Structure 1
């Protein structure tokens, strides 16, 4: 009888311990827009922008040094974050969706939101969507009134046939979000309006002529287009943070954990720091706008503390791609937004897609810890799925979990192959220290964009990213066997596909 009692007590203690281990945290995923690897001093001690609040997430948790967006531009990265798959597997083969593009994520596609709902979470997205909406049209779509790609994707529709008197029929609620308050796309792309659960907040009766203060579309730049009544373009960022705080306060009363996906509209153009933030950095309007973001991130973190939610909330902070920061800006401000990485937003070079990534989870993720494993933003579904016990065949095909790294800062993952993709559709592959690019040129914004190879010239570039972070020394001729292996692996990944369980 004594031995039986001991066994029962051991089983009870194991059960309690196990329950503690799988306690579901609240999750906040903050996605900055166009924030560079070198903008934050936790990555770049010479940064001209002070960001103590964003830095605190890394200092109180784990900093990842080799995380990558799956694309060097907006829409495809957002697709990967929510689905765990590369967007080039869809009909979007390059670039982004524009003002009135069709939904990129179909309703039956499993997302991070729908997966978390399965495990008892209430889910929300507050911020920039840029994944397409089901706009109501006055007439049928045709090649004469829409931009339709060769793959059949409707990238945009003539705004004159959009019926703003009717709410869109498809959006975040159809992609796994219980609550949504969004801007349709970027803050420099019309229409300028808010949608709450697919419904217009205000009538869309106004029109802006746009603003272009600089030749390179930087600064306070936005395009002409329809605008909702009372829409103030410089108040969008504060509005999203205010809505987030109110959402958290509301749902914390519910007996379930919450997931808040918070994709910010900045520091993507237009750079619109409010007066109180002007001249607070040494990197011009861009740096001042980053300072404004940092303030609001700190305010949100303080809000969690005030509600006694900090201890059981996982906060992830990252960026959707590299910075929109031209060489002229580097020279003018002596600020390297991409640090020593080659290139910028849009490019196949690491400056286009290596991004800041930090995770804070008090008591679980070790403070001031670091991780140097190569991974991508497609990893969110796999990581949260492993944490919650989701079956692996229900995880997006390109989502490589970093959960073990969060639990043990000494953990070193086996090298996984990661695919990079540029705005012009260039591919590269990264495995361990080796990076192979299959085209010549940036494939993005940096010049030259395309380089025509000479007859018989090798079109592949190979770099040792441990020794050559700036991608200067092309080793493709020195290591032809590595080039061959990476080409084979990249082609296998491109062909790989499977059907998620319903």
Structure 2
């Protein structure tokens, strides 16, 4: 197991000492950027990056930077499922790709979410921003939805299976990404606005007449700040703030256009950074910053659809030293920024190189609040709470599973990473279809010696390949990767080799 690069002298914090009394439970503000690459944050990529992110850099100075944090998948919907449930997405029917705006909910009503767990512990819970986990949009007369013409959606009816049915007290946001219809705002379980028209640019589909994607990020920011301003120190809160940026469409406001010098993507990242700063400043101004855990991370790496080729030409390496981008099994697809600020407990300017996954929020919140974790919840979640006090994470999970847009698997255990794919497993060239005819069937990398994944050791270390593959196979079959009673996956068969 890796150890912390920075030893933290916080003797009064032990793993047990972080499980707090009810009146001491910290607030949690979880800010999830959309398609923000590891190398897009200037403090993580000072030599190979061209974008200035002073507000995220400030959070790094004031808190802890995790340098080996990973999403469970290298695309949107699967990662969001794992964050909120502590369970890998591929245990569900979603074996590849993402949901669309009119798809049914992926999280089943009987599954405990992070929000549900915290609500049981007395937290106020809010989801503000992009949902992208499916919604039960109502239809006129309750008939099956006309998925082609969308002529029978009841835009005034109650939406089922969304955030307020899954542990959140409050929701304000959009159904999916800014490039996926319907283009409407939803508050709690109702569409906001009166007139629905057809949007005829990009992905065509229904939109609320006044919906303007340029204003979405500012609106979500205002809603988040207003929610913070309604809180007080007597009741802890959990805000899952799921930003729509810097995912396409690249729509920075006029204030940010041209600021980065490398185009719309750089401008949108800088806008995103400023938004994060506004939200944290509002938290501090409300007197709530000291005992609030602020997490800033991303749902996957930078997307090639943002113009990655041009970014590289301009000298901006969006994944830092790592290979690949969104959608891939290579590190650039799933290694993400992960910044944690908690002034009351976490040492400023600290670093952690322990391996964590975004699945781990569930178990961390359970340990933090002393909440019981049912055997049927958080099957793939491990608490990183000890790391916040400079201690080693005690994990019953042997390794971490990575998953690509096209459903290819990879497995990371200690220094080794096994990819069950011939090439990127995603969108970066060479894709699986572009792989040379003589390419090996899989890839093995020593991530300590070769973090850029340049030297495939698959043929020279068959014993390591066998060990990692057998562990991956066991984690899949048991229905969980942590200690506890075996659970059923939602599908009868999960195919490891695509």
Category of TM-score, reference length = shorter chain: 0.7 to 0.9
Larger mean Cα displacement after TM superposition, 309-318 or 39-48:
39-48
Aligned to 1:297: 276
Local SS of the residue matching 2:476: helix
Q: CA deviation at 1:320?
A: 0.1
Distance 1:269 1:18 in 2: 40
Question: 1:451-470 counterparts in 2 under 5 A?
Answer: 451=433, 458-470=440-452
Q: Is 1:399 matched up with 2:381?
A: yes
Q: Output the TM-score relative to the length of structure 1.
A: 0.87
Distance 2:286 2:18 in 1: 26
Q: CA deviation at 1:23?
A: 1.9
Distance 1:493 1:273 in 2: 42
Contact 1:125 1:180 in 2 (8 A): yes
Counterpart of 2:231 (choices 251, 254, 278) is 251
Gaps of 5+ in 1: 1-15, 147-156, 211-221
Aligned to 1:431: 413
Q: CA deviation at 1:300?
A: 1.3
Aligned to 1:363: 344
Q: Output the TM-score relative to the length of structure 2.
A: 0.88
Report the count of equivalent residues: 460
Contact 1:453 1:459 in 2 (8 A): no
Q: Cα distance 1:455–1:17, how it changes in 2: closer, same or farther (>3 A)?
A: closer
Counterpart of 2:64 (choices 55, 62, 65) is 62
Q: CA deviation at 1:410?
A: 4.8
Contact 2:18 2:368 in 1 (8 A): no
Distance 1:113 1:343 in 2: 32
Q: CA deviation at 1:252?
A: 2.2
Counterpart of 1:313 (choices 268, 289, 292) is 292
Q: Cα distance 1:435–1:22, how it changes in 2: closer, same or farther (>3 A)?
A: farther
Q: CA deviation at 1:441?
A: 2.1
Distance 1:51 1:454 in 2: 39
Local SS of the residue matching 2:327: coil
Aligned to 2:219: 239
Distance 1:34 1:74 in 2: 8
Contact 1:28 1:313 in 2 (8 A): yes
Deviations 1:116-135 (A, max 9, x none): 01111010000000000011
Question: 1:118-133 counterparts in 2 under 5 A?
Answer: 118-133=120-135
Distance 1:164 1:412 in 2: 47
Distance 1:336 1:476 in 2: 27
Q: Is 1:329 matched up with 2:310?
A: yes
Local SS of the residue matching 1:459: coil
Q: Is 1:184 matched up with 2:185?
A: no
Gaps of 5+ in 2: 1-16, 480-485, 489-498
Contact 1:126 1:243 in 2 (8 A): yes
Distance 1:475 1:327 in 2: 28
Aligned to 2:4: none
Contact 1:282 1:333 in 2 (8 A): no
Aligned to 1:5: none
Local SS of the residue matching 2:43: coil
Q: Is 1:38 matched up with 2:39?
A: yes
Larger mean Cα displacement after TM superposition, 456-465 or 488-497:
456-465
Q: CA deviation at 1:224?
A: 1.9
Q: CA deviation at 1:282?
A: 2.9
Local SS of the residue matching 2:300: coil
Distance 2:19 2:426 in 1: 48
Contact 2:19 2:368 in 1 (8 A): no
Contact 1:123 1:260 in 2 (8 A): yes
Q: CA RMSD in A?
A: 2.3
Aligned to 2:77: 75
Q: Cα distance 1:302–1:185, how it changes in 2: closer, same or farther (>3 A)?
A: same
Local SS of the residue matching 1:180: strand
Q: Cα distance 1:249–1:482, how it changes in 2: closer, same or farther (>3 A)?
A: same
Contact 1:338 1:351 in 2 (8 A): yes
Q: CA deviation at 1:458?
A: 4.4
Aligned to 1:96: 98
Q: Is 1:201 matched up with 2:183?
A: no
Aligned to 2:330: 349
Q: Cα distance 1:56–1:413, how it changes in 2: closer, same or farther (>3 A)?
A: farther
Q: CA deviation at 1:390?
A: 2.3
Q: CA deviation at 1:22?
A: 7.9
Distance 1:442 1:405 in 2: 31
Q: CA deviation at 1:141?
A: 3.6
Distance 2:22 2:461 in 1: 46
Larger mean Cα displacement after TM superposition, 296-305 or 18-27:
18-27
Local SS of the residue matching 2:32: strand
Aligned to 1:53: 55
Question: 1:268-279 counterparts in 2 under 5 A?
Answer: 268-279=247-258
Q: Cα distance 1:242–1:457, how it changes in 2: closer, same or farther (>3 A)?
A: closer
Aligned to 1:11: none
Q: Is 1:480 matched up with 2:482?
A: no
Q: Cα distance 1:390–1:208, how it changes in 2: closer, same or farther (>3 A)?
A: same
Distance 1:410 1:383 in 2: 14
Distance 1:126 1:202 in 2: 17
Q: CA deviation at 1:203?
A: 2.2
Q: CA deviation at 1:243?
A: 0.4
